[in-house]
Amino acid sequence: MLKINTMEELKQLYAKKEPYLLMKHSLTCPISSEAFAETETFAGQSENLPVYYLNVQEFREGSSDASEHFQIKHESPQAFLVSDGKVVWHDSHWRITNEKLRTAAENLN
């Protein structure tokens, strides 16, 4: 998993045409910790889909920008599966599981 820390990195991510997963993660929420662990498991098993994350408390500007950019109401934790610059799947909270992430990624093909 690759951490996004700056607006420049986030803008570069938006420009990617290849599929990727972006997770918005809260450092203080137990549900977010579970979702982050599930995403880490998914990332370790997924060789073809890059996984990025940002910490909401450390990068509020990026968290807000992602919600605005994708036109999806902010939630935390929140995962966006993006292909060709468009969100093709997203979910939040306890619904972010390794199984759901794998299913969403498989549906890209």
Task: Give residue-wise pLDDT tens across range 29-55.
Answer: 999 999 999 999 999 999 899 999 999
Backbone angles phi, psi at 75, to 5 degrees: -140, 165
Check pLDDT > 90 for residue 92.
yes
The pLDDT value given to residue 47? 86
Each residue of 60-87: pLDDT tens digit?
999 999 999 999 998 899 999 999 999 9
What span, in angstroms and rounded, lies between the C-alpha atoms of 47 and 69?
27
The pTM is what? 0.94
Q: Is the pLDDT of residue 109 over 80?
A: no
